Amino acid sequence: MRESQDGQGTDPSTAGPDAASRGPAGGGDASVLGPPESTPPADEAEQVETDLDALLADTQRERDEYLDLAKRTKADFENFRKRMAADVLAASTKGKAELIRDVVPVLDDLERAIQAAGLDPEGDSEDGLAHGVLLVFRSLRDSLARNGVEAVDPKGEKFDPNVHEALSAQPADGVESGVVVETMQKGYRLGEQLIRPARVVVSE
């Protein structure tokens, strides 16, 4: 009876769960802690560094490709913008030139009417009709000038077949051959574009 009271004869099966879980003396199950950590081999570290270098190189290559694409796109857009601006200007100039070709004969008729009446194009007249013709002539002429239209009167200049149209040739005293001695009809230009050549008489 004393042995049971002192606990020396205690049956291990009745000692409770704590006794089994404690395991060997010295504290804890070594398998729970796992094996000690180890550093990766040198060849694995080199492989990781190689992969990182390759990834960086691919990234830089893609960056350069996208940058080059962006530059080309910008250049293409700038060329497109310039072409569109040039096309718009050309269309505007063409339309203006066609309108001027229709208007300048009216200006010719008004100028001939003023000359036939013996009026000064820059002067005035007490006659109401003549006064109105003078006003219309000057208004139309000034409107064309504001839009870049310039009259061409080459009298006294060397004949140029590119901008003059010779109606006839005649001898002229004291004038060398090939000089415009009379302008039969003024020419007109819009900037560098010739709207209508001047019709002239040339010295022989």
Give every CB contact of residue 194 below 8 A, 6+ residues apart in sequence: 162, 163, 187, 188
Contact 180, 163 (CB under 8 A): no
Number of domains into which the chain is organized:
2
pLDDT at 14: 46
* Residue-averaged pLDDT of the chain: 82
In a domain, 33, yes or no: no
Are residue 102 and residue 79 in the same domain, yes or no?
yes
Are residue 54 and residue 143 in the same domain, yes or no?
yes
* Pairing mode of beta strands 164-170, 149-152: unpaired
pLDDT at 124: 87
List b or e across 51-71, with b for residues whose CB sees 16 or more CB atoms inside 10 angstroms.
Answer: eeeeeeeeeeeeeeeeeeeee
pLDDT (tens digit per residue) in 122-179: 988 889 899 999 999 999 999 999 989 999 999 999 999 999 999 999 988 888 999 9
Range of the domain at 137: 44-149
| 3-state SS, residue 1 | coil
pLDDT at 24: 46
In a domain, 3, yes or no: no
Are residue 135 and residue 50 in the same domain, yes or no?
yes
In a domain, 127, yes or no: yes
Are residue 131 and residue 176 in the same domain, yes or no?
no
Give the pTM.
Answer: 0.57
pLDDT at 35: 53
Q: Is 138 exposed, middle or buried (0-12, 13-18, 19+ CB in 10 A)?
A: middle
In a domain, 8, yes or no: no
- N-to-C CA span, the chain: 163
Are residue 54 and residue 126 in the same domain, yes or no?
yes
Are residue 164 and residue 86 in the same domain, yes or no?
no
Here the CATH number for the domain that contains residue 136 is 3.90.20
Q: Which two tokens stand for residue 170?
A: 């005649």
Low-confidence ranges of the chain (pLDDT < 50): 1-32
In a domain, 142, yes or no: yes
pLDDT at 111: 92
pLDDT at 4: 43
